[in-house]
Structure 1
Amino acid sequence: MKTELRKIYLAHFLAGLSTVASVIYTLFFLSHGISQAQIGQLFGVFMIAMSVFNIPTGAFADIVGHKVSVVMGLFFHALNGLIFYIYPTYNGMMIGMLSAGLGLALQTGAWSSLTYEVLEKEGKIDKLAEVMSKAGAYFSLAAVVGSLVGAPIFKYAPRLPFLLFFICIFLSGIVAMQIKYHKPKNKPTLSSLLATTKDGIKFMLGSQKLMGLMVLTIAMTTSRMLMNQNIIQPYQINIGVDVALIGVTAAIIQMIQTIVTAWAYKVANKVGYEVSLIITVLAPAVAVLMMSQVSSLASLGFIFVYCAGQAFKEPIAGFLALKLMVPTHRATMASTSSVLSSVIVGLLLPLGGKTIDLYGLNYTLILLSVWMVGVGGMGIAIYNYGKK
């Protein structure tokens, strides 16, 4: 079993190195004549594609096997980097985003299921949470390394990070192909999966509290995507950060998010989950507002606070949603929430990019702060006062 777990950890580490490219996404787009509105369109298509592909890929993974789904997902994801490297135009990038959306959709849920099957083979299912946590730690460690080297490489060879992105994730897929696991004897049929999906959607839409958490997710994910893909990198250039050092700030952000995620549950247990939800909205909203008013290197502190607040939200909202879901339909209910929120976020991102083109970064930051407080606050209110 140790050998198979090492393969899982190595595959996650190699995939984490892909931040060598993601750390300079926005600067790469802008340097190739892509406008902020077009960046919003690209990531909007990515979000919608991933959510739409999520619907059939879950059933595909259950029927043909989770290992097959993981490997195919990694290869399609890797293809995204190769397309960006060879064909760095708007049309090429759009094809790359579609490939990435399909690749990540194929991996969603399949990695945890494959890990479960590896542990089941040795009767060690109780170690699932520990193994998944270690795999995430290896990914995060690699992400720090990728962030540190990505920006300096981009400064002297702008397209090279995407070739390295392709190589790292492709190798991750090769490693995943070697994983041996316990093959379930009774695979679900398509008809049973469709029936489960139908019931799960009904349960999800019938819960006001879950819908409240989904509204909160829409508010904060829209903000996170716009900040990560449109704002943070050019904003750092504007306040005097050298291109080669953007990877350093990205590495610091990665480390902060890892620490915050690890301690989120302990903080929430002390201050309460309702208070924690308010913090997940107010901390990023105030940080973004301050970024709009302070145009100096001191604003890096506000960027770090913003990213910490976003990292704090993920485990808190996820835990609260998990408690509300029907155990036999958790995967479908989670998928339904993901699809709905991703489609809405995908439609909103081009509007955010267009706002930056028309009014600039600072005005957009103010609107983003208001958006988080207004829509995020509404989501919290629905959660607090809605029916289960």
Structure 2
Amino acid sequence: MIPSARRVQGVYLTLLLGNTLAASFIWGINTLFLLDAGLTNFEAFAANAFFTAGMVLFEIPTGVVADTIGRRASYLLGTITLSSSTVLYWLLWLWHAPFFWWAVASMLLGLGFTFFSGATDAWMVDALTFTGYKGSLESVFGRALVVTGAAMFAGSVLGGVIAQVTNLGVPFLLRAGVLVLMFVFAFVAMRDVGFTPDRSMGPWRATRNVLSQSIEHGMRKRSVRYVILSAPFASGVGIYAFYALQPYLLELYGDPKAYSVAGLAAAILSLAQAAGGIFAPRLRRLFAKRTTAIIGASLASIVILVAMGLTAFFWFAVVLLVIWGFVFAVAGPVRQAYLNDMIPSQQRATVLSFDSLFGSLGGVVIQPALGRAADLWGYGTSLVIGGAIELIGIPFLLASRRQGDPSDSAGARGDAGETGEAEAAPTTP
């Protein structure tokens, strides 16, 4: 039975909905949670850095799982690992555990997310190709941002309110519970189609092969290489800024215990991202090249970060946060589509994981460095420094643009199939 393009997108969007809802329960309070457990700013962002270090360490091995066992298996393992390590995080908060154990638990959280990174998107792209889908990937990734934005809004608001009514630990237990439900859904609804796992090699040989394929299709192709090399700067700064804005906005607000305000700020960001997801395909058509949209969004992000770091007014910072989220959301689908169009199907999960690995590398170094800057000079100064760091990635994006890859012009004004459904293959009984 050949699934319809609509059903594939439905399953994909449901997976993202559940993952994002689970994750967003703690997005508005995560830094506050770590500080409440007795960690300093440096230790809190160092814990986040160990999370990204776990993603770096496990990206390739979990890429092997996705490409040799299956994308569905990778997703199921991710839900189990992430649910278990979230409960461990809650226990460490109860015990006010020393930093060493936070580092270990954070790396396990990173392991959980690496089972998702690359595998979920690759599953969707291959399944859509299998159905004969002719629409643009920007449209699908744009819908994904709308769904994840709505889930983030609901989860962030609920997480902040529940934390204020109960305590900072309850949202972590809710996250673990939702992940268990997502395991059940994926077990029933998710099937690997359009992709045949290669199980002919043992794990060690497969790992070497995955690394080799990552280098071949991710680093030796210049247009892909430069996009990947830009990832550490944008991702590292973006992760730090997202979590630093929690205590920074409360500082500007004047009440460090107003957890619902922190959750509301994350929710506002989610709405901005949803709006960006809606408009991403339309705004993409304004540019002849995808790299133009990506570079423009990166420059806008830098200006906004600097402005947020310099302001002393809470509501102005919230407005800037909305614009930052919108810019991020517009750039995300375009970048994803650009990369996916340049990567062969068989190596798609591998190279997307490799890209995620480089983004995580930025987080390993940049997060604790900016966290230390926040300890010394305050959150505002650390955001300004973050903007300067993100600027380093712009020359790499310009270098990718200069390669003139055909994928850079795909999906431009006048391309057919933006709606993504009219040309999809019909459902076959």
TM-score normalised by length of structure 2: 0.78
**Most deviating of 284-293 and 197-206:** 197-206
Alignment partner for residue 225 of structure 1, among 231, 234, 239? 239
Q: What amino acid sits opposite 2:336 in the alignment?
A: G
Q: Secondary structure at the match of 1:44?
A: helix
Matching of residues 334-345 of structure 1 within 5 Å:
334-345=352-363
Relative distance call for 1:119 and 1:36 in structure 2 (3 A) is same
Other-structure match for 1:37? 42
Relative distance call for 1:386 and 1:131 in structure 2 (3 A) is closer
Other-structure match for 2:309? 292
- Residues 59 and 190 in structure 1, CA contact (< 8 A), matched pair in contact too: no
Alignment partner for residue 304 of structure 1, among 298, 322, 326? 322
Relative distance call for 1:186 and 1:175 in structure 2 (3 A) is closer
Cα RMSD between the aligned structures? Answer: 3.3
1:32-81 Cα deviation digits (max 9, x unpaired): 22122112221222112113212122222343343332222101111232
- Residues 74 and 116 in structure 2, CA contact (< 8 A), matched pair in contact too: yes
Relative distance call for 1:132 and 1:179 in structure 2 (3 A) is farther
1:245 aligns with 2:261: yes
Structure 2, unpaired ranges of 5+: 406-429
Alignment partner for residue 220 of structure 2, among 185, 197, 206? 206
1:183, CA displacement in angstroms? 7.7
1:14 aligns with 2:18: yes
Relative distance call for 1:285 and 1:64 in structure 2 (3 A) is closer
Other-structure match for 2:368? 350
Q: Secondary structure at the match of 1:239?
A: helix
1:106-133 Cα deviation digits (max 9, x unpaired): 223433565679889xx84639968887
Relative distance call for 1:384 and 1:113 in structure 2 (3 A) is closer
1:161 aligns with 2:168: no
Relative distance call for 1:99 and 1:66 in structure 2 (3 A) is same
- Residues 288 and 366 in structure 1, CA contact (< 8 A), matched pair in contact too: yes
Relative distance call for 1:80 and 1:337 in structure 2 (3 A) is same
Q: Distance in 1 between matches of 2:239 and 2:346?
A: 31
1:214-233 Cα deviation digits (max 9, x unpaired): 2332221111011012x211
Relative distance call for 1:366 and 1:64 in structure 2 (3 A) is closer
Q: Secondary structure at the match of 1:223?
A: helix
1:190 aligns with 2:201: yes
1:359, CA displacement in angstroms? 1.6
Q: Distance in 2 between matches of 1:203 and 1:185?
A: 18
Other-structure match for 2:249? 236
Q: What amino acid sits opposite 1:148 in the alignment?
A: V
Q: Distance in 1 between matches of 2:196 and 2:307?
A: 55
Other-structure match for 1:267? 283
Other-structure match for 1:54? 59
- Residues 201 and 332 in structure 1, CA contact (< 8 A), matched pair in contact too: no
Q: Distance in 2 between matches of 1:286 and 1:186?
A: 45
Alignment partner for residue 133 of structure 2, among 87, 111, 126? 126
Relative distance call for 1:27 and 1:146 in structure 2 (3 A) is same
Relative distance call for 1:329 and 1:158 in structure 2 (3 A) is closer
1:135-175 Cα deviation digits (max 9, x unpaired): 66544432221111111211231211111111111221122
- Residues 213 and 347 in structure 2, CA contact (< 8 A), matched pair in contact too: yes
Other-structure match for 1:179? 189
Q: Distance in 1 between matches of 2:192 and 2:318?
A: 48
Other-structure match for 2:413? none
- Residues 140 and 258 in structure 1, CA contact (< 8 A), matched pair in contact too: yes
- Residues 46 and 101 in structure 1, CA contact (< 8 A), matched pair in contact too: yes
Question: Which structure shows the bigger proportion of residues in helix conformation?
Answer: 1
**Most deviating of 336-345 and 142-151:** 336-345
Q: Distance in 1 between matches of 2:195 and 2:378?
A: 57
- Residues 70 and 192 in structure 2, CA contact (< 8 A), matched pair in contact too: no
Q: Distance in 2 between matches of 1:24 and 1:62?
A: 35
Q: Distance in 1 between matches of 2:125 and 2:303?
A: 41
**Most deviating of 313-322 and 360-369:** 313-322
Q: Secondary structure at the match of 2:313?
A: coil
Relative distance call for 1:162 and 1:271 in structure 2 (3 A) is same
**Most deviating of 111-120 and 94-103:** 111-120
- Residues 23 and 151 in structure 1, CA contact (< 8 A), matched pair in contact too: yes
TM-score normalised by length of structure 1: 0.86
- Residues 212 and 379 in structure 1, CA contact (< 8 A), matched pair in contact too: yes
Q: What amino acid sits opposite 2:276 in the alignment?
A: V
Q: Distance in 2 between matches of 1:182 and 1:71?
A: 12
1:208, CA displacement in angstroms? 3.5
Other-structure match for 1:101? 110
Q: Secondary structure at the match of 1:38?
A: helix
**Most deviating of 24-33 and 108-117:** 108-117
Aligned length: 384
1:9, CA displacement in angstroms? 5.6
Relative distance call for 1:181 and 1:362 in structure 2 (3 A) is closer
1:361 aligns with 2:379: yes
Q: What amino acid sits opposite 1:190 in the alignment?
A: M
Q: Distance in 2 between matches of 1:245 and 1:311?
A: 22
Q: What amino acid sits opposite 2:21 in the alignment?
A: L
1:266-302 Cα deviation digits (max 9, x unpaired): 2132134343233222211111221222211222111
Q: Distance in 2 between matches of 1:305 and 1:186?
A: 42
Relative distance call for 1:376 and 1:132 in structure 2 (3 A) is closer
- Residues 126 and 345 in structure 2, CA contact (< 8 A), matched pair in contact too: no
Relative distance call for 1:92 and 1:110 in structure 2 (3 A) is same
1:323, CA displacement in angstroms? 4.0
- Residues 233 and 393 in structure 2, CA contact (< 8 A), matched pair in contact too: yes
Structure 1, unpaired ranges of 5+: none
Q: Percent identity?
A: 18
- Residues 23 and 247 in structure 1, CA contact (< 8 A), matched pair in contact too: yes
